[in-house]
């Protein structure tokens, strides 16, 4: 048991990789939708803990995030926080100044801090 959770492996724990497990890892690596719907659990009032069933827009977001760097898209999502998406605070966004046309790249964390400070 690790950190009070029997489902977590301990640091340095040895895992035997058989052909079936290796194929499952490869499938998960190649198909982010398969990985998410097979291994991501959520907790809801109605169903308790259960595997997530992604909406089409969530699948589209995951696929866009998984693209290779050479054909990476800009991703803008205007959806409620309850819709099941998240970003790291150091994720970068680009903002264009409407007056000057200047484009700045800033982390999401810095962007929200700036907005919060401007409202004070």
- Residue 68 pLDDT exceeds 70: no
Dihedral Cα 32, 37, 41, 43, nearest 10 deg: 120
pLDDT, the chain, mean: 79
Q: Is the pTM of this model over 0.75?
A: no
The residues, ordered by sequence, that sit 6+ positions from 37 with a Cβ below 8 Å of its Cβ are 51, 52, 53, 54
Q: How far apart are CA 71 and CA 75, in angstroms?
A: 12
- Residue 105 pLDDT exceeds 90: no
- Residue 1 pLDDT exceeds 50: no
State the pLDDT at residue 33: 93
Q: Could you read off the pLDDT of 71-102 as tens digits, one per residue?
A: 666 666 677 665 555 566 677 777 777 788 88
Mean pLDDT over residues 32-45, rounded? Answer: 88
């Amino acid at each position: 048991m690790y950190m009070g959770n029997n489902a977590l492996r301990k640091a340095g724990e040895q895992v035997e990789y058989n052909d079936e497990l290796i194929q499952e890892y490869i499938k998960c690596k190649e198909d982010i939708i398969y990985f998410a719907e097979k291994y991501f659990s959520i907790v809801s009032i109605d169903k308790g803990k259960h595997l997530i069933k992604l909406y089409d827009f969530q699948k589209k977001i995951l696929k866009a995030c998984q693209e290779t760097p050479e054909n990476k898209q800009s991703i803008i999502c205007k959806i409620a926080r309850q819709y099941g998406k998240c970003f790291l605070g150091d994720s970068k966004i680009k903002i264009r100044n409407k007056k000057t046309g200047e484009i700045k790249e800033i982390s999401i964390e810095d962007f929200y801090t700036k907005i919060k400070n401007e409202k004070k």
